[in-house]
Amino acid sequence: MSAARERLYLFDTTLRDGAQTNGVDFSLEDKRVIAGMLDRLGVDYVEGGYPGANPTDTEFFAEKPPFRNATFTAFGMTKRAGRSASNDPGLAALFEAKADAVCLVAKAWDYHVDVALGITNEENIDCIADSVKAIADRGLEPMIDCEHFFDGYKANPDYALQCARAALESGARWVVLCDTNGGTLPDEIFEIVTEVCKHIPGEHLGIHAHNDTENAVANSLAAVRAGVRQIQGTLNGIGERCGNANLVSLIPTLLLKSAFADRFETGVGEAGLLSLTHVSRSFDELLNRAPNRQAPYVGESAFATKAGIHASAIVKEPETYEHVTPECVGNQRRLLVSDQAGKSNLMAELSRIGIDVEKSDTRLNALLREVKEREAEGYSYEGADVSFEMLARRILGSVPDYFKVESFRVLVERRYNALGNLITVSEATVKVEVDGESMTSVGEGNGPVNALDTALRKDIGKYQPFINDLRLVDYKVRILNGGTGATTRVLIESADGQGNRWFTVGVSPNIVDASFQALIDSVRYKLLRDGAPAE
């Protein structure tokens, strides 16, 4: 909290450069939600898109989001050569946008000025200077992204610097050095930025790094060490090709590692840092993709330990085994229940899921024995917390069965239909008993497990209302020992209408059997979670 710390600015381009990610396509509503998340997190600039380039972005800039802190920034290009800035249609669209700041991309590599733009070096300098002035004249904060800056600098350092200086001298608040191809390594970044800082004060310089050599985070840090005071990046590192610098990894390093935390302060405070795991995972939810378990700081496995020898030491002295505490980024420690697990792993895991039990309780030994036996059979609870929870509750306490499955039958048939085409049909029959009453349901599906799931969930009597919003969202199968005597492990991911997601596991030589176990565990968990009455 020392007043001597310098201010470091965070510029988020998730909604602009991040939108270049293969497979990512933000709706207007997505953009609004994400912009709000970023503002609450505490980033300084939210680059919302490229107004004028597509209808979504134009509409997004039709009104200013209700930001508390962030500067709402529009992206665009410098004016075309031969026009005046006041007469350029691209700039005109930017001036109509309700932005506080405008970031313009400009060429800084003489080769591209010649080949891609087909104009002279002087004309390009004029485009930069004139466009920056026009933005400043409208009372907006101007900044310039110097495209291919590092390649340009290596090819012609004088010209690359001229472009940067022209921007600064015309009033740009920030001159951002972009490693557009993503191929520059950390020490090259450090050396070049150090040189640039001799000509342009670091408090006007930014870094925009891409991850093509897996160094985007390191490159951003190297640039800060060399003098830049603005970092551009995206949530979870999304972006074109291999992605942009990952702000979710950078923020904790800047706030928690003394090499940076002692020298700098950012707009992200303690509360923002605490929300980081949630922000990262919510963003993945919004993209409809599974969060990266191994993500630095925020991943589900980021503070997970499997090794038995380490596990008991971690319980005693976590700070000597963890580089930061999981809690300060809103994450949590996980001691994996694996075949190397000891009692301390098990107790820690139980307390995490809200089951308190005395260390002396003999049922704990029974549970440990059962877990070890099941893991020897092929169960893996590492990825299936809920199956572990259901097993623990069955052995330690009392979780009702709710219903009993008396039998099932699945038929898959491939044959010619009346039109002479080969078709495959799957059909399942399930007989369940609820409150002493037997019910038989039939279901069809596009495969045996889908047919079984359909039949099972068609009628479980009084419990039916509890599972109406239950969905299977993913299904994974792993064959454990190979060959015909193999054991099959099935992992099912379920979700409900309240936004909950959970994993269950089943193991059997028979894939249908294994799937059925995981299905049943999932259904019973849903009943437990929502407080369904026991028989």
Q: Which of residues 53-112 bind a second copy (CB under 8 A)?
A: 54, 109, 111-112
Residue span binding a second copy (CB under 8 A) among the ranges 96-104, 349-357, 432-440, 477-485: 477-485
Interface of this chain with a second copy, residues 285 to 304, rule: CB under 8 A: 288, 293-297, 299-304
Query: Would you count residue 497 as binding a second copy (CB under 8 A)?
Result: no
Of the pair 52, 299, the CB lying nearest a second copy is at 299
Tokens 């497990």 map to which residue? 449
Is the Cβ–Cβ distance between 160 and 205 less than 8 Å?
no
- The DSSP output letter for 117 is I
Q: How far is the CB of 246 from a second copy (least distance, A)?
A: 6
Of the pair 170, 244, the CB lying nearest a second copy is at 244
Residue span binding a second copy (CB under 8 A) among the ranges 21-29, 64-72, 84-92, 269-277: 21-29
Of the pair 170, 215, the CB lying nearest a second copy is at 215
Q: Which two tokens stand for residue 288?
A: 């409809």
Of the pair 289, 363, the CB lying nearest a second copy is at 289
Of the pair 141, 240, the CB lying nearest a second copy is at 240
The alpha carbon of residue 190 and the mean position of all alpha carbons in its chain are separated, in whole angstroms, by: 28
Q: How far is the CB of 511 from a second copy (least distance, A)?
A: 5
Q: For residue 252, how many other CB atoms are within 10 A of its CB?
A: 22
Is the Cβ–Cβ distance between 344 and 312 less than 8 Å?
yes
Interface of this chain with a second copy, residues 209 to 228, rule: CB under 8 A: 211-215, 217-218, 221-222, 225
Site string for a second copy, 386-405 (x = CB under 8 A): -------------------x
Nearest to 132 by CA among 98, 99, 101, 89: 101
Of the pair 176, 295, the CB lying nearest a second copy is at 295
Is the Cβ–Cβ distance between 512 and 449 less than 8 Å?
yes
Q: How far is the CB of 510 from a second copy (least distance, A)?
A: 4
Query: Would you count residue 355 as binding a second copy (CB under 8 A)?
Result: no
Among 416, 419, 437, 465, binds a second copy (CB under 8 A): 416
Query: Would you count residue 348 as binding a second copy (CB under 8 A)?
Result: no
Among 122, 187, 285, 327, binds a second copy (CB under 8 A): 187
Tokens 């050569």 map to which residue? 81
Interface of this chain with a second copy, residues 148 to 167, rule: CB under 8 A: 148, 151
Sign of the torsion angle spanned by Cα atoms 364, 367, 369, 371 = negative
| Range list of β-strands (E), 247-332 | 264-265, 304-305
Q: How far is the CB of 22 from a second copy (least distance, A)?
A: 4
Tokens 């107790």 map to which residue? 347
Interface of this chain with a second copy, residues 227 to 256, rule: CB under 8 A: 237-238, 240-243, 246, 249, 252-253
Is the Cβ–Cβ distance between 78 and 104 less than 8 Å?
yes
Of the pair 68, 316, the CB lying nearest a second copy is at 316
Interface of this chain with a second copy, residues 432 to 471, rule: CB under 8 A: 445-450, 453, 471
- The DSSP output letter for 305 is E
Q: Residue 396 burial (CB < 10 Å; 0-12/13-18/19+)?
A: middle
Is the Cβ–Cβ distance between 186 and 218 less than 8 Å?
yes
Of the pair 355, 472, the CB lying nearest a second copy is at 472
Q: For residue 356, how many other CB atoms are within 10 A of its CB?
A: 8
Among 75, 402, 466, 516, binds a second copy (CB under 8 A): 516
Among 119, 315, 486, 532, binds a second copy (CB under 8 A): 486
Q: Which two tokens stand for residue 147?
A: 């495209």
> What does the alpha-carbon distance between residue 521 and residue 529 come to, in Å, rounded to a whole number?
12
Of the pair 139, 485, the CB lying nearest a second copy is at 485
Residue type at position 435:
D
Residue span binding a second copy (CB under 8 A) among the ranges 25-33, 95-103, 118-126, 355-363: 25-33
- The DSSP output letter for 113 is I
Strand partners, 170: none
Q: Which two tokens stand for residue 534?
A: 């026991």
Classified as helix, coil or strand, 18 is: helix
> What does the alpha-carbon distance between residue 258 and residue 378 come to, in Å, rounded to a whole number?
44
The site that binds a second copy (CB under 8 A) totals a number of residues, namely: 119
Among 104, 127, 129, 336, binds a second copy (CB under 8 A): 336
Residue span binding a second copy (CB under 8 A) among the ranges 95-103, 198-206, 411-419, 458-466: 411-419
Is the Cβ–Cβ distance between 511 and 490 less than 8 Å?
yes
Residue span binding a second copy (CB under 8 A) among the ranges 19-27, 125-133, 262-270, 347-355: 19-27
Among 6, 262, 285, 474, binds a second copy (CB under 8 A): 474
* Cα 295 to Cα 215, 236, 298, 415, distances in angstroms: 15, 8, 6, 47
Of the pair 217, 390, the CB lying nearest a second copy is at 217
